[in-house]
């Protein structure tokens, strides 16, 4: 039979685990973690990307930092944040997977957001890797240039979505193209595939994003050096 002090210790431990749960109990904070999975970002940049005020974004980041999920460093008057480790992204992946399996609302909302997604054939990370080894595919990274520079799938060509139409002539017409972006709920690659198909090219979207590729431990290019947190 466990002693009362032992029970209290166990409860205290679970209370500490619950700090992580409380930090994740916000859609905005999960979105911020998704942005940070691509690269380090300043508070101002995260505020702009998430549609929050700088003060509100800073508050969310402080909650994540207190829970040990993000780290920060100062550069002049600006504070930059990054994920505290690969395990943080793995935690977000697990939450995403559980949500997809357990919550029908997620599939419904994704379908409402992009009704034509089912018509855009997707391939898995494993299948992309196989085709890359065969040399039978052109990999296209349609994220912003700064995200590509910080890390990308080896050999991927970067054409941000906003620049795709004017750069279309530089892409081979016969080669199969696989476009990828930030992850399964980023729709940059959907728009890229639709535009490529309209131009007559054979194009597919990657089912996941660069952070998912990196999480598998596969080779990446463009990763910057380590930074010292505040």
Give the residue numbers marked as catalytic.
181
- Which 3 state secondary structure label does DSSP give 58? helix
- Token pair, residue 159, equals 């054409």
How do 78-83 and 41-42 pair as beta strands? antiparallel
Backbone torsion region of residue 68, taken as left when φ is above 0, otherwise alpha when ψ lies between -120 and 50, otherwise beta: left
Instruction: Write the CB contacts of 33 (distance below 8 Å, at least 6 apart in sequence).
Output: 64, 69, 70, 83, 88, 89, 92
DSSP letter string, 115-165: TTGGGS-EE-HHHHHHHHHHT-EEEEE-S-HHHHHH-B-TTPEE--GGGHH
Residue with tokens 């992309």: 128
Q: Could you tell me if 151 and 223 are in contact, meaning their C-beta atoms sit under 8 angstroms apart? A: yes
């Amino acid at each position: 039979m466990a002693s009362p002090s032992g029970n209290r210790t166990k409860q205290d431990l679970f209370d500490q685990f619950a700090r992580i749960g409380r930090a994740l109990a916000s859609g905005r904070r999960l979105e911020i973690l998704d942005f940070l999975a691509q690269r380090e970002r300043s508070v101002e940049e995260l505020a702009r990307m998430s549609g929050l005020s700088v003060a509100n974004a800073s508050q969310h980041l402080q909650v994540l930092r207190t829970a040990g999920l993000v780290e920060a460093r100062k550069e002049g008057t600006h504070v930059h944040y990054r994920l505290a480790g690969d395990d943080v992204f793995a935690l977000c992946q697990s939450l995403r997977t559980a949500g997809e399996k357990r919550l029908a609302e997620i599939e419904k909302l994704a379908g409402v957001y992009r009704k034509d997604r089912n018509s855009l054939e997707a391939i898995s990370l494993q299948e992309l890797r196989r085709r890359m080894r065969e040399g039978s595919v052109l990999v296209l990274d349609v994220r912003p240039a700064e995200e590509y520079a910080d890390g990308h799938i080896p050999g991927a060509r970067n054409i941000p979505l906003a620049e795709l139409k004017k750069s279309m002539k530089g892409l081979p017409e016969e080669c199969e193209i696989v476009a990828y972006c930030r992850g399964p709920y980023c729709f940059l690659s959907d728009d890229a595939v639709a535009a490529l198909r309209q131009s007559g090219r054979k194009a597919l979207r990657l089912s996941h994003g660069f952070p998912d590729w990196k999480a598998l431990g596969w080779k990446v290019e463009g990763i910057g050096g380590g930074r010292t947190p505040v």
